[in-house]
């Protein structure tokens, strides 16, 4: 039997109420030459049983049950098992247009692209709430322009972006959604360059994988058509993460390590230094952590919360970024923490954040 043209890799964890719609949307495609690989990541609900039911009825569906190890490990397992010419990474709680695979397969071959990036729709309570097209112009990108024009918008934001935010401009801190479900990939790129998800990352794994992937390819095509529906769930892990100071600190520590390793890999492949594309993210992360840990709601003592903040703020990479950053605005409530950070005044910055928390000042990145 010939290998399928497309492998659809779906990690699944406790999504019994959603996975049927996802699988049905793939199995009813106008294009039939594909396989679906479901990695049941130790689900405690009926997700695994539902997946097994589909596999029993449909020869194009394969299911692997494993102990919970996180979405990155599940996707890596899927990569090892997949035999298609092209990969799609879907989340089991989302769904796609009925013509998605046919059009994507035709387009990626027609454009002779290694990666095809496309748009998506946000979907909540049965209603389409937002159409999200790529921020990049439609067309083919090749060579260094992939890194300079595409990767640069996925990996983070620059010092210039922070200054634009400080000036009140919208979009200064904008990062293009790096989710893997919004692209089709030629499988040999992933196989030959051994691109894998970082199992140490619980947050930001898509950022690193997408950036790593783009640094490997010769050409990429961007389409503004939307094929994917991102379904909102109340139980989203990212919502809890955003307000958990300890979890966010650990997530940012790991992502910093991963970004540094990524930067080295990209420089070795292309000769380009991508650190300026994400150093603004480091600056903003310190300020965010100051506000989170300065808030007494966490329950820990002031001393322990300050120590936790310092464990990130005094990292060499953070100190380097803080010294290099030049705020281009007059002193204000919004910009004062950045001037303090540049001077290395961590305790005054932390006190400032604590006072702003007391008066219910909202530190937002919009």
- Could you give the CA distance from residue 278 to residue 259 in angstroms, rounded to a whole number? 9
Does residue 161 lie in a domain region? yes
Residues 228 and 269 in one domain: no
- Could you give the CA distance from residue 219 to residue 229 in angstroms, rounded to a whole number? 26
CATH number at residue 111: 3.90.550.10
| Cβ atoms 132, 138 nearer than 8 A | no
- Could you give the CA distance from residue 294 to residue 308 in angstroms, rounded to a whole number? 10
Residues 260 and 152 in one domain: no
Does residue 281 lie in a domain region? yes
Residues 215 and 350 in one domain: no
- Could you give the CA distance from residue 251 to residue 243 in angstroms, rounded to a whole number? 12
Does residue 126 lie in a domain region? yes
Residues 254 and 150 in one domain: no
Query: 204, 219, 238 — which closes off a domain?
Result: 238
Region 62-88: what's the mean pLDDT? 97
Query: 178, 212, 238 — which closes off a domain?
Result: 238
Residues 226 and 309 in one domain: no
Residues 298 and 339 in one domain: yes
Does residue 1 lie in a domain region? no
Residues 73 and 139 in one domain: yes
Q: Which 8-state DSSP code applies to residue 147?
A: I
Helices (H) and strands (E) in the chain, counts: 16, 10
Helices (H), the chain: 19-27, 47-57, 71-81, 100-110, 144-145, 152-154, 159-166, 187-192, 205-214, 237-243, 245-270, 275-294, 302-313, 316-324, 336-343, 346-358
- Could you give the CA distance from residue 247 to residue 251 in angstroms, rounded to a whole number? 6
- The pLDDT mean for the chain works out to 93
Region 158-165: what's the mean pLDDT? 94
| Residue 127 pLDDT > 80 | yes
Residues 276 and 219 in one domain: no
**What digits encode the pLDDT tens for the residues 318-358?**
999 999 999 887 667 778 889 999 999 999 999 988 888 88
Structural domain of residue 330, as residue ranges?
247-358
Name residues whose C-beta falls within 8 Å of residue 237's C-beta, 6 or more positions apart in sequence.
none
Residues 32 and 67 in one domain: yes
Least confident of 43-47, 114-118, 235-239: 235-239
Region 101-126: what's the mean pLDDT? 97
Q: Identify the band that residue 298 occupies on the pLDDT scale cut at 50, 70 and 90.
A: low
Residues 232 and 286 in one domain: no
Query: 238, 265, 300 — which closes off a domain?
Result: 238
- Looking at residue 366, its pLDDT comes to 56
**What digits encode the pLDDT tens for the residues 198-234?**
999 988 999 999 999 999 999 999 999 999 999 987 6
């Amino acid at each position: 039997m010939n290998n399928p043209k497309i492998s659809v890799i779906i990690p699944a964890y406790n999504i019994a109420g959603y996975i049927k719609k996802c699988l049905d949307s793939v199995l009813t495609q106008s294009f039939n030459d594909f396989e679906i690989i479901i990695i049941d990541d130790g689900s405690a609900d009926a997700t695994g049983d539902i997946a097994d039911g589909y596999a029993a009825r449909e020869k194009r569906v394969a299911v692997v049950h494993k102990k919970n190890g996180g979405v990155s490990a599940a996707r890596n397992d899927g990569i090892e098992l997949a035999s298609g010419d092209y990969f799609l990474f879907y989340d089991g709680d989302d769904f796609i247009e009925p013509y998605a695979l046919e059009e994507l397969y035709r387009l990626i071959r027609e454009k002779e692209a290694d990666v095809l990036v496309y748009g998506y729709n946000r979907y909540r309570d049965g209603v389409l709430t937002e159409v999200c097209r790529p921020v990049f112009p439609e067309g083919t990108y090749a060579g260094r322009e992939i890194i300079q024009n595409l990767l640069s918008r996925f990996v983070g934001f620059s010092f210039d972006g922070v200054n634009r935010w400080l000036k009140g401009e919208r979009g200064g801190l904008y990062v293009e959604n790096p989710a893997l479900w919004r692209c089709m990939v030629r499988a040999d790129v992933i196989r030959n360059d051994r691109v894998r998800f970082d199992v140490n990352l619980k947050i930001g794994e898509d950022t690193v994988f997408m950036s790593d992937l783009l640094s490997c390819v010769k050409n990429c095509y961007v389409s503004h058509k939307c094929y994917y529906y991102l379904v909102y769930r109340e139980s989203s892990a990212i919502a809890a993460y955003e307000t958990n100071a300890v979890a966010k600190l650990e997530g940012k520590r790991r992502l910093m390590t991963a970004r540094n390793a990524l930067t080295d890999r990209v420089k070795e492949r292309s000769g380009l230094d991508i650190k300026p594309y994400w150093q603004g993210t480091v600056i903003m992360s310190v300020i965010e952590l100051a506000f989170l840990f300065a808030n007494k709601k966490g329950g820990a003592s002031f001393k322990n919360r300050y120590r936790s903040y310092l464990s990130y703020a005094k990292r060499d990479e953070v100190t380097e970024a803080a010294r290099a950053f030049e705020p281009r605005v007059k002193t204000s409530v919004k910009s004062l923490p950045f001037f303090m950070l540049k001077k290395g005044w961590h305790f005054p910055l932390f006190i400032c954040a604590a006072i702003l928390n007391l008066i219910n000042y909202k530190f937002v990145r919009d």
